[in-house]
Structure 1
Amino acid sequence: MSSSPSAGTQLPRRVLITGGSSGIGLAVAQLFVQAGSDVGILGRDPGRLDAALAELGSTGPGRAAGVCADVAEDPQVDKAVTDLAGQLGGLDALVTCAGIEGEMGAACEDVTAKSFREVLDVNVVGTFLAVKHALPYLKKSAGSSVTMVGSDSGFVAVPGMLAYNASKGALVQMTRALAVELFDEHGIRVNSACPSIVDTPLARRGLGDEAMDQPSFPLQSAEDIAWTVSYLASHRSRAVNGVNLLSDFGYTGRSSFPA
């Protein structure tokens, strides 16, 4: 498989996506496959993974492969990344989409330590492990990149999302730290896409179908975020590094001044 980008899209040819079997991750995989990239997806639910691969197989012209693994488990991530990089013939880009919400709506004193750790293990440690094990392959590819899917919850907060807010705040700084560490020596760019509410299975679990079907707030689709991710991973954005790109309809830019 060629490692050069498509002349039309300038997208990377070989892309690994964690959390690629549903939600934003699947939308990202679909966009890349449609553009001709070869994609490896990592998911922890075998049924969802098989369904996603079947869907991607009919999308083309790019090819899709998948491995079942828990991103919070180091040996599983190591093996999955090795397997997928082997199937793809290397890696030009990593997109980390795997994430969980934790005990939504629970007050601080009601959140269990076990649940809090689980959110950090998946959202933060899982991202770190994916980057760590993808690095040997990304280093071999010119102009490679890492794009994390974060959240506006890394910048703003509401009650009842303590662990999730903490995890997304950690990704904001991890983006900056990795961008500084990896670019000068290896030329690897690291950025994150940070959307507000997106219509995904995760959001529907937390907010309910009624709130999502008749929203009183601006709502994005998974495909919207896939386009943002594709830009950040694209060779067209080669000067963009260390950016946490907010996609929130301008909410965080609003002043509290009562005018």
Structure 2
Amino acid sequence: MDSMQRIPQRVVITGGASGIGLATAQAFLAEGARVGIISRTRQSLEKAMAGPLAGHAPEQCHGIVADVAEEEAMAAALKEFADLFGGLDTVVACAGVEGEMGNALPDVTTKDFLRVLEVNVIGVFHAVKFALPFLIGEPHPSVTIIGSDSGFVAAPGMLAYNASKGALVQLTRAMSYELFEDHGIRVNSVCPSIVDTPMARRGLGDEAFEGSDFPVVAAEDVARTVVFLADKGSRAINGTNILSDFGYSSRSSFPA
């Protein structure tokens, strides 16, 4: 059976205008899927649509401006995609923010902490909730969440981000149980370590990626894993949080 028969044909990706989301959109388009992307700003959306995603007809690749933290905007966006594509097969929840990177606990503001949770956790909830009516009844529906190794390990100066990604680990499990039992919808997450994206460079600085002594994940690496999880050949994989970190989280920190 070829990939055109296996890969979902109607995909929505939040945060699809840059970084991992953009690479994922390109990967699905290369497989012949119809792809809808959601971006928070019109500037980033237009840049992606006129650049890496150029050359696709609107019915093949369509973009909508919406903030994943805003309930009404997300409900409208998912309905628009479903109407355009005639339904949905898979959702990739990729939109995220890093928060006040480098700030110790006393310096983290409540406003910023809440914003990270609104985007990184509530945004995923909105994407799945408002896609659900269109996923129900499809032959091989799935959801893939872009998490992080920060949901399993911690580093100083990443308090809100660590908390949000930890929440996604359990949200993946909880939704996978409920949605598979009730509707046959699989829910998994991909949890990479440091990925070379505009967000990572904004938070860590370009110098962190120049001659680094640690391996860096490429956005394309994550995208390939997402496409694999959406493939109906992965029908038995559900409720998993797949670490994509070169095995670093498996290493003991014991000084011996």
Q: TM-score, normalised by structure 2?
A: 0.95
Q: How does 1:128-139 map to 2 (within 5 A)?
A: 128-139=125-136
2:178 matched residue in structure 1? 181
1:172 matched residue in structure 2? 169
Are 2:14 and 1:18 equivalent residues in the alignment? yes
1:73 matched residue in structure 2? 70
1:216 & 1:59 partners in 2: Cα distance?
Answer: 39
Corresponding letter in the other structure for 2:6: Q
2:155 to 154, 158, 164: 158
2:229 matched residue in structure 1? 232
- The answer (yes or no) to whether the contact 1:30–1:59 under 8 Å persists in 2 is no
Number of residue pairs matched?
Answer: 254
Are 2:196 and 1:199 equivalent residues in the alignment? yes
2:54 & 2:84 partners in 1: Cα distance?
Answer: 15
How far residue 93 of structure 1 moved from its aligned partner, in angstroms, is 0.1
Are 2:76 and 1:42 equivalent residues in the alignment? no
Corresponding letter in the other structure for 2:13: I
How far residue 140 of structure 1 moved from its aligned partner, in angstroms, is 2.6
Q: Tell me, what secondary structure is at the counterpart of 2:11? A: strand
Gaps of 5+ in 1: none
1:212 matched residue in structure 2? 209
Structure 1 residues 59 and 248 mapped into 2: Cα distance closer, same or farther (>3 Å)?
A: farther
Corresponding letter in the other structure for 2:108: V
Are 2:29 and 1:29 equivalent residues in the alignment? no
1:36 & 1:231 partners in 2: Cα distance?
Answer: 14
1:35 & 1:254 partners in 2: Cα distance?
Answer: 36
Taking only aligned residues, the RMSD between alpha carbons, in angstroms, comes to 1.6
1:63 & 1:187 partners in 2: Cα distance?
Answer: 26
Greater shift in the superposed pair: 121-130 or 214-223: 214-223
- The answer (yes or no) to whether the contact 2:28–2:227 under 8 Å persists in 1 is yes
1:139 & 1:215 partners in 2: Cα distance?
Answer: 45
- The answer (yes or no) to whether the contact 1:43–1:68 under 8 Å persists in 2 is yes
How far residue 187 of structure 1 moved from its aligned partner, in angstroms, is 0.4
CA offsets per residue over residues 163-193 of structure 1, 9 Å max, x none? 0000000000000000000001200000000
Q: Tell me, what secondary structure is at the counterpart of 1:41? A: strand
Q: How does 1:240-251 map to 2 (within 5 A)?
A: 240-251=237-248
Greater shift in the superposed pair: 213-222 or 102-111: 213-222
How far residue 58 of structure 1 moved from its aligned partner, in angstroms, is 2.5
Corresponding letter in the other structure for 1:25: G
- The answer (yes or no) to whether the contact 1:9–1:35 under 8 Å persists in 2 is no
- The answer (yes or no) to whether the contact 1:199–1:212 under 8 Å persists in 2 is yes
Identity of aligned residues (%): 59
1:195 & 1:59 partners in 2: Cα distance?
Answer: 29
Q: Tell me, what secondary structure is at the counterpart of 1:29? A: helix
2:210 & 2:233 partners in 1: Cα distance?
Answer: 35
How far residue 9 of structure 1 moved from its aligned partner, in angstroms, is 6.5
Greater shift in the superposed pair: 125-134 or 47-56: 47-56
Corresponding letter in the other structure for 1:15: V
Corresponding letter in the other structure for 2:163: A
- The answer (yes or no) to whether the contact 1:151–1:168 under 8 Å persists in 2 is yes
1:35 & 1:148 partners in 2: Cα distance?
Answer: 20
Q: TM-score, normalised by structure 1?
A: 0.94
